[in-house]
Amino acid sequence: MKRALLLFLLASLVTPAVAQNGGNVEVGRPSFEASRIQIEGSLTLCRGGVKMATHSFILRADEVDYYSRTGIVEARGNVRIQLLPVAPNTAPDQRQHQ
């Protein structure tokens, strides 16, 4: 579990969190799916078949506690992280002028 949490934190430090909700992109907020989601101030408690997604990874776990003020995530039970491919930066047009 410590390895999964460390990997998640490293992935979130490398790239900013971006969530997709119905095609709208919102910077700085992951999206959550779970059997139960409870929000208490800056703490989001997710229970049962949790899926947490950003543009750079998908985390699945039995339980997730997300602290939005700090960006810290605590994941428990059958934790899996899928790193998503990062789109390469497009280089400026390098056409030669004749």
Which residue range(s) make up the domain with 63? Answer: 2-83
Reported as half-sphere exposure (CB side, CA atoms, 13 A), residue 82 has a value of 10
Mean pLDDT score across all residues of the chain? 76
Residue 97's pLDDT band (boundaries 50, 70, 90)?
low
The distance in angstroms from the start CA to the end CA of the chain is 59
pLDDT of residue 21: 40
Q: Is residue 88 in some structural domain? A: no
Q: Is residue 27 in some structural domain? A: yes
Q: Is residue 79 in some structural domain? A: yes
Q: What is the DSSP letter of 71?
A: T
Count of domains forming the chain: 1
What is the rounded CA–CA span in Å between residue 25 and residue 29? 9
Those residues whose C-beta lies under 8 Å from the C-beta of residue 52, and which sit 6 or more positions away, are 30, 31, 32, 46, 58, 59, 60, 61, 64, 66, 73, 75
Q: Is residue 89 in some structural domain? A: no
Query: At 2, which helix (H) or strand (E)?
Result: helix 2-14
Q: Is residue 97 in some structural domain? A: no
Q: Is the pTM of this model over 0.75?
A: no
Q: Is residue 50 in some structural domain? A: yes
